[in-house]
Chains A and B, each alone.
Chain A
Amino acid sequence: MGTTYGIVVFVVLALFTAFELYVGLGIGYDKKVVSSSRGFFIGGGTGFFILFFTTAATWFSTWLYMGAPGSFYKNGIGWIAGAAWQLLIVFLMGNWGPKVWRLGRDHQLITPSDMLEGYYGGKAIRPVHATGELIFCFPTLMAQIAGCGVALDALTRGVIPMWAGCIYAAAVVGIYVYFGGFRSQAWVDTMQGILFSVIMWVTVIIMVKNSGQAGLTGFFAELERTGSDLLRYVTKPDGLNNGYWTWKMYLSFWIIQALGGFCAPYVFQRSYAAKDGKTVRRIAGLLGAYYVFILMAAVMLIGFGGHVLGIETANADNIMVVAMNKYAPYWAIFVVIGILCAGMSTVSSILVSATSIVSVDYGRSIKKDISDESIRKISKIAILGMLVLAVILSIVGYSSIAILINTALAGFAQSFWAIFGMFVWRKHATKEGAVSGLVVGLVITLVLTAMSKNLLGFAPGFWGVVCNGIVFFVVSLLTKPVDPAHAEEFLSPLVKHSVRNRT
């Protein structure tokens, strides 16, 4: 790394860090909001603009800059599933999000397990569900922190080694989350979300310009000439796209990532955080198009651009940084800023969510009437503890970004049937069905993931969701449904505040 280049890298990094802390601890900080535990974890009623970008930034992690372009580069167009399933997530968000918002507001819910326990009752569902979510928060947390470390290492050519990059990302996020909770991170997310979207499209323009072809026309013509396999859904395993995206994998990713994307606690809690139901619905209406056309289209062009530019790299996750280092070294600095934005926005959201699980769910499991003050105290310790653990795990257990994220979403997807039972299959769903389905789904996902086994060609999380559903339906039919009076009372805000009933 040359001296001038090195100085520019460190100046940009310093300015970026200062700006993040200014937004997080200045504009985003509200002492009154963070003084209560619900305010700390959920904020004080977030409006459309901030909630839109914090949801987008949370959802899209380093995966957007590393895993997804890497997968397009390595495995071809099949990864378009990544864009297609986004629309199922927003469909679920539009359908159920306003319900989640209303129940969260009227019952003062903080975590997803709060809602499931409130509806199903019993002592088991909260600890089981919370533990499942917490376990699967870690792979995502690790992936993001590791992604930031890898990107800084690649940018500075080892001057900032991966471990130091991991510590940097965790420390900066830790500061604004520790003091400002959800509100601070939502504001920082907004800044990061806008930044990483802009950086991504500038990168696309640079790649197309450097392809030596006449704009996108030449770009696609060159891609067809050098790698037409990448533009087809299935080719042989020895083809250029490795034959990876079979229909079974495509279907697995649809199920896992769409259901996991909606049920991920840090996404689910965005519905609690909205100012009103209309805000959640508006976000669902526009977020899909934003994902598909602003973000995923760019990701696809970058992944394919790697082939058009003839980039060779051992780690496909680094395709964007490697390409920019070669063609626009100074812009590579901003690409890494984009990676940091994408990664840190997800780290901060997971940190708030995971901390709420530890302090609220475990706190209330141990002591039903735990005080607000105790929850806040536990949350502060939990933030620090989790960051330290996540950094250590990221450094010693780094794996491919795409694999880590998929593992996490596979775990989160297991919550789907319990939520489905509450909103759709109300007459029959039971707490025994929900708990046993969750346990079976989580265990199958964990075991098959640990064994790296794609049984019959389907990903582990797919089997977890299928078996979870079967157990949920069978056990629910064999056991006593939720007391109708209790169910009616818990869900009564949905009747009382329905707009549809009055039109």
Chain B
Amino acid sequence: MKKIVQWLFAVYWILCMLPYFIPGLNQLEPHIGFIPFTVWYIFLVMTGCSVMIYIFSKSDSIWDTYDYEENADAENK
């Protein structure tokens, strides 16, 4: 699972770099509403990554918290 997570992050990084290498991603059309493509593209990619990170932060199998004892203590109390 952790490996998949790391690869997903690599995909994010590649998507952020792509407009430099693909001219079609470095243009103002098509607009979404009033927002030019270069702006909404990068914000869309960042939104996807933010959601992904939020999901990671909810999963012990992806991001361990290393506070097992504290959880147990709190429950006992």
Contact = CB atoms under 8 A, between A and B. Distances in A.
Contacts of B43: 292, 297
Contacts of B67: 98, 101-102, 276-278, 497, 499
Given A232-B38, A233-B20, A87 B70 contact: no
17 contacts: A87-B12, A87-B53, A88-B9, A91-B53, A94-B57, A98-B67, A218-B34, A219-B34, A231-B36, A231-B38, A251-B17, A276-B65, A281-B57, A285-B54, A297-B43, A500-B61, A502-B68
Contacts of B39: 77, 220, 231, 300
Contact of B46 (A87, A231, A250, A493): A87
Contact residue range for chain B? 35 or more
Nearest to A97: B63
A499 B34 contact: no
A240 to B, nearest CB: 14
A342 interface: no
Interface in A86-111: 87-88, 90-91, 94-95, 98-99, 101-102
A377 interface: no
Given A231-B39, A234-B26, A494 B66 contact: yes
Contacts of A293: 47, 50
Contacts, number: 141
Interface string B1-25: 0000000010011001101110000
Contacts of B70: 276-277, 497
The majority secondary structure among interface residues of chain B is: helix
Given A233-B20, A498-B66, 8 more contacts: A88-B9, A250-B20, A277-B70, A284-B63, A496-B68, A499-B64, A499-B68, A503-B60
B60 A247 contact: no
B33 A292 contact: no
Nearest to B57: A285
Contacts of B38: 77, 231-233
A99 B66 contact: yes
B12 A286 contact: no
Interface of A: 77, 80-81, 83-84, 87-88, 90-91, 94-95, 98-99, 101-102, 216-221, 224, 228, 231-234, 246-247, 250-251, 254, 276-278, 280-282, 284-286, 288-289, 292-293, 297, 300, 493-494, 496-503
A177 to B, nearest CB: 29
A489 to B, nearest CB: 16
A193 to B, nearest CB: 19
A250 B17 contact: yes
A292 B50 contact: yes
Contacts of A286: 54, 57
Contacts of B27: 232
